[in-house]
C-alpha cells in the first residue's frame, strides 16, 4: 500500500477540476454509488477518488489466505446485478463481480486511483466543496471542487489494523502479522501458527491455513457465535434448473434471505436462549459432546449483539475436529521469545502469530473537514438517518448494516442521494443541510450506536469520535433494514429537517 506520509507532497500544478459529485472510495459502496448516479441522475458529472491502486476496497486491501465474505452475495451484491455463484464468495469473486459492474457501465473512466484525499472544505459563498488530494505515486497535490460529496470510504482505516499492546511483544523472535498486511511470500508450511482473535477473519484464516501449517491455534479471550451451513441456496439451484431468468433468481433469493434474516433477528430478541442453544448445537454436531463447547463457543453476549459469521460447510469446526487446528480460551500474560505465555500458565509455542484483532475505525477516511473555515468535529454533529450530519452541507456517508449485508443499505442510500440531487435540481437549490426541527430540540442525544444493541470492540473504542444520534429514528442509524426499506423511499425531502439554499 502506498503511504503519502513517506513521500514529499508537491504543490498543485493544475487548476482545480470541477465535478457535480465527488465519490470518495472505489469499494462496493463507491462503485454502486456511481451506478446509481448514472442511472438516476443522467448528465451529472462525477469522479471517484481512490487512494489504492485498484477497486474493491475491503476486497482489495485484504489478502490473507482464504479471504471470503461472511454474508451471502445475493444481498452483499447489488440489487441491480444478479449474483450467480455460491452465496459465500472469495474476495477475488467479489472483485470479478464488481469489475463486471464497472465494465458494463463504463464506470472505469471516472475512477482516479492513487488519490488520497486529505482535506475537504465547504464554502457557503461558492456552494462548493474544495477537496485536496495527493497522488500517492508522485506526491503531487491535486485540488478538486464539487457540489456534493458522496462519502463511500467505508468505516475503518485501511492503512493499519488494530493490534493491542501486550507485554514482551518485542521479545518474540517469530513473525507477527496483521491480516490487513499479509506478506505475499509468507510460507507457513509445517509452522506452528497462533491466530489471536475469533472473529470472522480468524474463522476464515484458520481452515484456509490448517492444511499446510504444522498446527494452528485460535487463541481467544472470549468465545464468539458462528452459524454453519452448506455454501449453497437450494431455491436458487432449483430456479436455475427451471431456467428462470437470473434477475428473477436474484430478486427471489434476496427476498427469501432478508425475510429469514428478519425472522432470525426477531427470534434473537424474543428467545435469545433458544437461539443460543441452536447455534451451539451446530458446533456440537461437528465437534461432539465431549468437546468443551461451553468454554470455547458459548459467548457471554446475546446472539446478534455482535455480527454472527457464517462458516460454510463448517470448515472451521472440521479443522478442529481433525486435530489440525485447536482453540484456546485464555488471556495473554506476555510474549516470550518462542511464543505466548497465557494467564493460566500455559505456553503456546509459535513460529507465526497472526493478530486477527480487528481494525481502527475511521470516521471519514482520515479526511479533515471544514465548513466555512471552521473545522468539523464529527462527534459534535447529529446524524440524520445515519447518512447526513447537522452543520455539514451537501454530504452523505454510506454506512451499511452490521446485521444484514452492507450493500442492502448502500443501494438504498444511493437512491436517496439521487432523489436529493434531483430534488435540488428541480427546485433550483444548491445547498442542503439537515437541522433539528423545533420538536427535536429536547430529544435525548446519544452515542452513534446503542451498545446494548450492538457492541463490537472497534465501535466501542471509537464511539467518542463518531457522530451522535437522537432518540428519534429520523436522527439515528437504526441498523434496521426491514423498516428502512419501507421508510427510505418515502423520506420527505420537503420536511423542515432539510434546509435548502
Ligand atoms: C475482512 C472483512 C470482511 C467483511 N465481510 C463482510 C461481509 O461478508 N458482509 C458485509 O456486509 N460486510 C462485510 N465487511 C464489512 C465491509 O467492509 C463492508 O461490507 C464493505 O465492503 C464496505 O464497503 P465500502 O465500499 O463502503 O468501504 P471499503 O470497502 O472500506 O472501501 C472504501 C474505499 O475508500 C478508499 N478510501 C478511504 N479513505 C480514503 C481517502 N481519504 N482518500 C481516497 N480513498 C479513500 C479506500 O481505499 C477503499 O478502497 C467485511 C469487512 C472486512 C474487513
- Summarised one tens digit per residue, pLDDT across range 208-249 is 999 999 999 999 999 999 999 999 999 999 999 999 999 999
- Asked if the model's pLDDT at residue 49 lies above 70, the reply is yes
Query: Which of 2, 4, 25, 457 to mutate to test ligand 1, by most ligand atoms within 8 A of the CB atom?
Result: 25
Q: What is the mean pLDDT of residues 460-471?
A: 92
> What is the predicted pLDDT for the residue at 309?
86
| DSSP assigned state of 501 | -
3-state secondary structure of 474: helix
Query: Which of 50, 61, 153 to mutate to test ligand 1, by most ligand atoms within 8 A of the CB atom?
Result: 153
> What is the predicted pLDDT for the residue at 421?
98
Residue 117 near ligand 1, beta carbon < 6 Å? yes
Structure-block grid coordinates of residue 103? 465494465
Categorize the per-residue pLDDT at 9 as very low, low, confident or very high, splitting at 50, 70 and 90: low
State the pTM of this model.
0.94
Atom of ligand 1 nearest to the CA of 406: 11
Domains of the chain: residue spans and CATH: 17-158+361-500 (3.50.50.60), 163-233+264-357 (3.50.50.60)
Atom of ligand 1 nearest to the CA of 52: 47
Residue 70 near ligand 1, beta carbon < 6 Å? yes
| Degrees, nearest 5: CA angle 241-247-248 | 60
Q: What is the mean pLDDT of residues 192-200?
A: 95
Residue 62 near ligand 1, beta carbon < 6 Å? yes
Residue 4 near ligand 1, beta carbon < 6 Å? no
Residue 220 near ligand 1, beta carbon < 6 Å? no
The Cα 183–Cα 118 span in angstroms is 27
The Cα 194–Cα 217 span in angstroms is 5
Query: Which of 57, 143, 354 to mutate to test ligand 1, by most ligand atoms within 8 A of the CB atom?
Result: 57
Residue 24 near ligand 1, beta carbon < 6 Å? yes
Q: What is the pLDDT of residues 300-352, one digit of tens each?
A: 998 878 878 899 999 999 999 999 999 999 999 999 999 999 999 999 999 99
The Cα 209–Cα 215 span in angstroms is 9
Query: Which of 154, 364, 399, 404 to mutate to test ligand 1, by most ligand atoms within 8 A of the CB atom?
Result: 154
Q: How many A from CA of 182 to the centre of ligand 1?
A: 17
Categorize the per-residue pLDDT at 7 as very low, low, confident or very high, splitting at 50, 70 and 90: low
Residue 28 near ligand 1, beta carbon < 6 Å? yes
CA dist list (Å): 480 to 403, 404, 453: 8, 9, 11
> What is the predicted pLDDT for the residue at 304?
78
Structure-block grid coordinates of residue 215? 498446527
- Asked if the model's pLDDT at residue 117 lies above 80, the reply is yes
Categorize the per-residue pLDDT at 13 as very low, low, confident or very high, splitting at 50, 70 and 90: low
Q: Which of 280, 287, 327, 334 is nearest to 308 (CA)?
A: 280
CA dist list (Å): 337 to 164, 188, 347: 18, 18, 11
3-state secondary structure of 231: coil
3-state secondary structure of 177: strand
3-state secondary structure of 151: strand
Residue 152 near ligand 1, beta carbon < 6 Å? yes
Q: Is the Cβ–Cβ distance between 407 and 76 less than 8 Å?
A: yes
The Cα 228–Cα 283 span in angstroms is 8
Q: How many A from CA of 25 to the centre of ligand 1?
A: 9
Q: Which of 22, 173, 38 is nearest to 111 (CA)?
A: 22
The Cα 159–Cα 241 span in angstroms is 45
Residue 30 near ligand 1, beta carbon < 6 Å? yes
What is the dihedral angle through the alpha carbons of 316, 65, 404, 460, rounded to the nearest 10 degrees?
Answer: 90
Amino acid at each position: 500500500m502506498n503511504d503519502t506520509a513517506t513521500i514529499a507532497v508537491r504543490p498543485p500544478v493544475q487548476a482545480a477540476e470541477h465535478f457535480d459529485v465527488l465519490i470518495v472510495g472505489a469499494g462496493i459502496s463507491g462503485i454502486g454509488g456511481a451506478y446509481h448516479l448514472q442511472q438516476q441522475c443522467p448528465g451529472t458529472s462525477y469522479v471517484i477518488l481512490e487512494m489504492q491502486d485498484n477497486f474493491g476496497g475491503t476486497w482489495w486491501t485484504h489478502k490473507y489466505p482464504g479471504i471470503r465474505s461472511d454474508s451471502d452475495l445475493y444481498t452483499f451484491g447489488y440489487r441491480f446485478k444478479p449474483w450467480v455463484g455460491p452465496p459465500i464468495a472469495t474476495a477475488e469473486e467479489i472483485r470479478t463481480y464488481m469489475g463486471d459492474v464497472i465494465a458494463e457501465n463504463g464506470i472505469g473512466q471516472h475512477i482516479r486511483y492513487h488519490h488520497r484525499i486529505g482535506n475537504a472544505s465547504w464554502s457557503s459563498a461558492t456552494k462548493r466543496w474544495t477537496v485536496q488530494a495527493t497522488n500517492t505515486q508522485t506526491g503531487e497535490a491535486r485540488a478538486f471542487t464539487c457540489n456534493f460529496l458522496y462519502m463511500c470510504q467505508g468505516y475503518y482505516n485501511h492503512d493499519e489494523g488494530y493490534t493491542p499492546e501486550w507485554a514482551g511483544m518485542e521479545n518474540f523472535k517469530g513473525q507477527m502479522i496483521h491480516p490487513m498486511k499479509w506478506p505475499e511470500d509468507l510460507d507457513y508450511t509445517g509452522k506452528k501458527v497462533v491466530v489471536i482473535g475469533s472473529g470472522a477473519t480468524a474463522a476464515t484464516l484458520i481452515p484456509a491455513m490448517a492444511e499446510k501449517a504444522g498446527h494452528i491455534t485460535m487463541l481467544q479471550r472470549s468465545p464468539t457465535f458462528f452459524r454453519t451451513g452448506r455454501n449453497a441456496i437450494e431455491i436458487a439451484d432449483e430456479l436455475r434448473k427451471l431456467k428462470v431468468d437470473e434477475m428473477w433468481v436474484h430478486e427471489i433469493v434476496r427476498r427469501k434471505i432478508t425475510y429469514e434474516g428478519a425472522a432470525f433477528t426477531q427470534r434473537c430478541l424474543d428467545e435469545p436462549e433458544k437461539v443460543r442453544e441452536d447455534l451451539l448445537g451446530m458446533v456440537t454436531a461437528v465437534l461432539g459432546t465431549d468437546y468443551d463447547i461451553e468454554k470455547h463457543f458459548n459467548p457471554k453476549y446475546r446472539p446478534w449483539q455482535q455480527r454472527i459469521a457464517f462458516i460454510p460447510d463448517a470448515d472451521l469446526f472440521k479443522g478442529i475436529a481433525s486435530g489440525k487446528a485447536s482453540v484456546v480460551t485464555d488471556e495473554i500474560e506476555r510474549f516470550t521469545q518462542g511464543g505466548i505465555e497465557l494467564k493460566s500458565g500455559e505456553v503456546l509455542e509459535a513460529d507465526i502469530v497472526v493478530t486477527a484483532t480487528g481494525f481502527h475505525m475511521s470516521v471519514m477516511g482520515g479526511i479533515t473537514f471544514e465548513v466555512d473555515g471552521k473545522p468539523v468535529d464529527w462527534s459534535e454533529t447529529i446524524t440524520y438517518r445515519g447518512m447526513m450530519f447537522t452543520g455539514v452541507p451537501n454530504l452523505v456517508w454510506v454506512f451499511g448494516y452490521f446485521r444484514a449485508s452492507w450493500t442492502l443499505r448502500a443501494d438504498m442510500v444511493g437512491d436517496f442521494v439521487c432523489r436529493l440531487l434531483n430534488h435540488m435540481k428541480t427546485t433550483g437549490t444548491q445547498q442542503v443541510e439537515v437541522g433539528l426541527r423545533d420538536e427535536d430540540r429536547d430529544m435525548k442525544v446519544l452515542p452513534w450506536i446503542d451498545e446494548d444493541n450492538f457492541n463490537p470492540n472497534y465501535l466501542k473504542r471509537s464511539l467518542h469520535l463518531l457522530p451522535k444520534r437522537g432518540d428519534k429514528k429520523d436522527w439515528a442509524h437504526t441498523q434496521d433494514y426491514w423498516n428502512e426499506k419501507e421508510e427510505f423511499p418515502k423520506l420527505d425531502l420537503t420536511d423542515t429537517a432539510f434546509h435548502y439554499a
